[in-house]
Structure 1
Amino acid sequence: MKKTVLASLVLSVFASAALIAAEAPKQAVSNGNFSETTPIPKNAKGIAGTVWAKHWSCAGAAEWKDGKIVLTTGVIYQFLPIMNNPKPYLLKGEVKASSLPGKQGVMNVRLSSCIRKDSKAPFQHALQKKFGPFKLTDTPKASPFECKIEPFEQGYLYIGESNAIIESITLTATPVQ
């Protein structure tokens, strides 16, 4: 009886240690709710207004308005800081968006990346993982996506197309065991 209790206790301790050792998902996108703003960069083209969502860039026509990004055309994008790790990760994301009033909105999500073990090697848009198109409606709706990234993969997350009001973006990275 004592051996059974001791064995159960040891197994319980090992199971707890394994759970503690397992890495929790990491946030893989910065300022996904667009709450942090910054003055519009002088070299930014296509961004209207006086402030912009910090950590995000834009190629197209967009404006930060009432805590959301109003994207008329083009894409918003961000370099993902979680990448360039020697382990594979599962990325799980969600973009909450709606169409501009009275417009037909469409949204695509894309991860443009490359495997880059040597940080001095030039970045290339060698790998393209595409999600969508997601048809947007007048009511904000979550569009989920997920993909696996390989060891030392790094790159950019692109979101956009036309006539979208983007409310938030979440993206977590969980190590693949």
Structure 2
Amino acid sequence: GGGIYETEEFYDECDRRGILVWQDFMFACAMYPEDHQWYVDEVAAEVRYQVRRLRSRASLALWCGNNENQDLHDGANWYRPGYYLPGQLYYNHIIPDVVAALDGRIAYWPGSPFGGNNHNSQFDGDVHNWNAWHGNSFRQFGERPQVNQGPEGVSYRRYGEDMGRFISEFGLH
């Protein structure tokens, strides 16, 4: 999410070389309005266009609705149960409905990270591990985020703590 839809040449090379593509839709690290019909219509048109364009690609492994929107929402609003994240209409209805209707072959994942008892679960789904950079602890749903920005909290050695099944994003600066 937040990147680009690649060119036909990119997908041609991925198809030719057997490289699998995790295809994000262009929603990342933000809240997206649902209260303007023109915007909802634009999102639906974009999704239809991209699914039709890419659905026959051998390299396409997964459709993904967003990058970090749900996880960032959970982390920022853990103390506000019931708070509604704008954009759910897209990730939970419009995008999966279009993918099912126009493709039906490739799996849809609402967001990344996603799975388990929180959106960045160590036990299910995919994980974004920036803990080594931010000094965050792995938390379970409903737990208050904990941060240790001392030398032991912000260290590349912390990657050894990561037991994620599929680590789809990580970083260290």
Query: Do these two structures clear the TM 0.5 threshold for a shared fold by scoring above it?
Result: no
Which has the larger share of strand? 1
Q: TM-score, normalised by structure 2?
A: 0.28
Task: Give the number of the structure whose alpha-carbon radius of gyration is greater.
Answer: 1
Q: TM-score when scaled to structure 1?
A: 0.28
Kindly indicate whether structure 1 or structure 2 has the higher relative contact order, using CA contacts under 8 Å at least 6 residues apart.
Answer: 1
Indicate the structure with greater helix content. 2
